[in-house]
Structure 1
Amino acid sequence: MTQLFFWLDILGTAVFAISGVLVAAKAGMDPFGAIILGVMTAVGGGTIRDIILDHGPIFWVTDSTDLVVAIVVSMISILFIRYTSFINYPKWILSSFDAVGLSVFVGIGVNKAIASDVNGLVAICMGVLTGVGGGVLRDVLAREVPMVFRVDIYATACIAGGMVHVSAYEYFGLNLENSMLLGMVTILTIRFLAICWHLQLPTVSAKHKQ
């Protein structure tokens, strides 16, 4: 099971790095900017989480696997975009892989928070931050409204998955691995339904009197 989580983490890191490079390409950034955006998307959420939790050395400092994967995938993505039509990929492909990475990152964030002996609400928040933090940094640097703040059902899926994860562990006595799996399944289900059926949250808009 641990090996499965490891490879899913690698997959999530790679997909998040690709999404950062794609945003950089659309914004007309140079290769250095694209690598920075790719790496920040991949490891940004976990970095912020570790800083908030005062978790000692940030995760990619003690084990640089995710950092290396993010850099290498970002560089390869730049070459693909430069010499192929990779940027015109079908949107559902990256969205589907992104859903897998998102579910793993949220689960890792919740587990790390629980290990830091915080309450359930904080654990959920740390899971959501781990999942969406890098994407928020990516979009802010690219001068876009972060996807998590738009109508797509994204952060909502993370919150639901985090709640299932924490509830399964704290109230139903499941171990962390099985609790994480339940949370991941919840996130994947909501995200895949949103992708397939184009589900969206209503926008917040004020009605102006004529």
Structure 2
Amino acid sequence: MNSNNAIFLFRHGETDWNVHSKRQGHLDSPLTQRGQLQAKENARRLRHQLPLDGEVAVFASPLGRARDTALIMAKDLEISKQAIVNEPRLMECSFGIWEGLTTSEIKARYPEEWQARSKDKWNVPAPSGEFYADVHARVSEWYEAVSFAETNLVICHGLTSRVLRGIYSNLSQHQVFELNEPQDGFFALRDRTEVFVE
């Protein structure tokens, strides 16, 4: 990726499971009305940032919540839905048997596994799930292989977006853990710098 390319990185809009603080991972729940509005507002914010009259590439996780967010944004930005590239390597981290559960439920049912993962999230997965190193490997593979356009929209997930920001800015594991995961607003990645747009 050269300095003329820009990535505009979005997290999917709010979902039903976000509202109830349930792990989603590779499972899914629909966007709430607020989540749909967040997608529309992020499209509006992007329009204020730049004219989309040049070459634009759109990459989205194929999971429903990210795909639906991408479709809403594409419509509002007058980008053909056929232009959206479904990219499995941008899927959220799998939380295995913890998917669909809240943190309190996980702690109650899997206390030893929770403690082990809490001590080393980068290398210890949820049971039957992935860990940060897995996600880092597949997102890095995508980042190194993809042919970026001048302007690139990436719509994915909280943990996945943090990992991608870490790759882009060469952050440490600890720094990646400290990053936030907003749904209102997005990150503009350009010239090895990151700017939050809200």
Shorter-normalised TM range: 0.3 to 0.5
Point out which structure has higher relative CO (alpha carbons under 8 A, 6+ apart).
Answer: 2
- TM-score under structure 2 length normalisation: 0.32
- TM-score under structure 1 length normalisation: 0.31
